[in-house]
A and B are shown apart, each in its own frame.
Chain A
Amino acid sequence: MNLTLFRVTARLNWLIGLIIFAVMLMYMATIISMFDPESMQGLLAMLETLPPGLVAAMGFDKLGTTLTSFLAGNYYGFIAIMFPMIYCIIIANRLVARHVDSGSMAYLLSTPNSRVTIVTTQALYLLGSITVLLGLVTAAGIAVSQAMFPGRLDTGGFLRLNLMTLLTFYAISGICFFFSCIFDETKYSLAYGAGIPIAFFVINMLANVSERYAWLRNFTIFTLLNPAQILAGDPFTVTAGLILTGIALVTYAAAIMVFNRRNLPI
């Protein structure tokens, strides 16, 4: 880890994180403000007019009646997956592949820092910034809930939900980072680094549409992030958390190892 590089990386990338956070915050506030225990029936009636497949794909079929389950269904099934995923795809690509493709990696490696140091620093920025992003979203969720509906948020369940989301994105970012480290050109880094997470995301949506496609759940990482299960305290949550942590460890370690050994076209 090189602190100078970490600071510069932060300076070049913080704005994207801030924009993603602003969008997530806006959705969070909007969705919390839509929560109204009395008129939940009205919302459900409105959703019934939409095709059930569409409603299910976006996770709106699991609307709970408590604020926490309402958020789990409305926010953590879709918004909290999509935007951090976009963040991981963009940033992971910028952290390594872009420097290799443009040639600026040559300057980083012409300083007395090993490849492992350089790429570990970039990995730590990705992991750290995702932690900060989702940490801020969690804090904002608690703050907005307390302001609008004091005492109605199950803070413990909400924190568990956010922790699992964080672990999911440690794993997703690891996948993006791995492809950023192994390719010469950003077009390939993006094709795989974006393609695979987006495929998981689409498969997840399809799997939720109807029981007929439920078998697809076996082919997406997002199955490990099941908001309803997490809030219900299902013991599988622990297993899922361990699997996600394992994926993150393996992908990041592999990324650093491959980058250290490969030929660089710079």
Chain B
Amino acid sequence: MISVKNLTKTYKNGKGIFDLSFSVQAGEVFGYLGPNGAGKTTTIRQLMGFTNADKGSCAINGLDCRRQAKQIQRSLGYLPGEIAFFDEMTGTQFLHFMNDMRGVKDRKRMNGLIERFDLETKHKIRRMSKGMKQKLGLVAAFAHDPSVYILDEPTSGLDPLMQKIFIDLVREEKARGKTILMSSHHFDEIDRTCDRAGVIREGRLVAVEDVRSLKASQRKVFLVTVGSQEEVALLRASGLEVGAVTDNHVEIIVRTDYDSFVRALANCRVTGIDVLSQDLEQVFMKYYGQEAQ
């Protein structure tokens, strides 16, 4: 398990993390959600023992992350956010190197993962595509069957098929009682795998909730195209939250009341519906406040 207590780390530019406290239990997948620059990687660096905290502490399996990093690494699988390998090596050489560095002799699990992720290991890492590098990073993180995982933006660069394979793998590991922390700036990614999530904003945790209640507070924006201006007026008058309107295109913001939304649309001649993709601040306006708009 992972526990973080009053963790503070300030950088020279004033950014950092401030007084963070949370914990992740065995058998739990914890999502760590925040936009770029909110402090996700800063927290992970602390958990990995790469940096010294100003205040507070963090522990994994009861061991101090900074002072007992060596012992922790025996049972920790880590995927860095910005993956940098030994570029001159081939995929196979790198994975064998990592196994040897960890003193792991058994290659059965590693070979199974290579097959599962359909990883090309013969090429030099420098020549690999971004997605292939990400898969290599995932195989390296899971290969030694650790009990705790720390994954920094694990699905970036993966195609939808590979994302599904990854999600299945995370669910399996969870069922085996592993502790998993994964960071992301997409709610969908967290939604599909995590039990609980912490929302971080400018270095402070603004919420730690289970994913179901987070989901309830997310807002979606639908771009509805209707047949005439009269219908636009009708939608405006329907009591729904209406955003920008251009010609016959109406942005409608929905939180939980899908029923009224559908009923209002039923009175119009709808010619198109699109879901607008939004960034995290817009999805979780509740936590990120109005200034994000």
Contact = CB atoms under 8 A, between A and B. Distances in A.
A106 B82 CA distance: 10
A263 B100 CA distance: 26
B86 A111 contact: no
Nearest to B71: A112
Interface residues of B, number: 28
Given A111-B101, A111-B102, A112-B70, A104 B84 contact: yes
Nearest to B82: A103
Interface in B68-86: 69-71, 73-74, 76, 78, 80, 82-86
A110 B45 CA distance: 11
Contacts of B50: 106, 109, 263-266
A109 B49 contact: yes
B283 to A, nearest CB: 30
Q: Which of B49, B70, B78, B89 has the most CB of A within 10 A?
A: B70
A209 B102 CA distance: 55
A109 B97 contact: no
A114 interface: yes
B51 A107 contact: no
Nearest to A108: B101
A106 B140 contact: no
A8 B103 CA distance: 15
A104 B86 contact: yes
A5 interface: yes
B183 to A, nearest CB: 15
A223 to B, nearest CB: 39
Nearest to A102: B84
Interface in A93-136: 102-104, 106-115, 117
Contact of A12 (B48, B71, B73, B86): B86
6 contacts: A4-B101, A12-B88, A103-B82, A107-B84, A109-B48, A110-B78
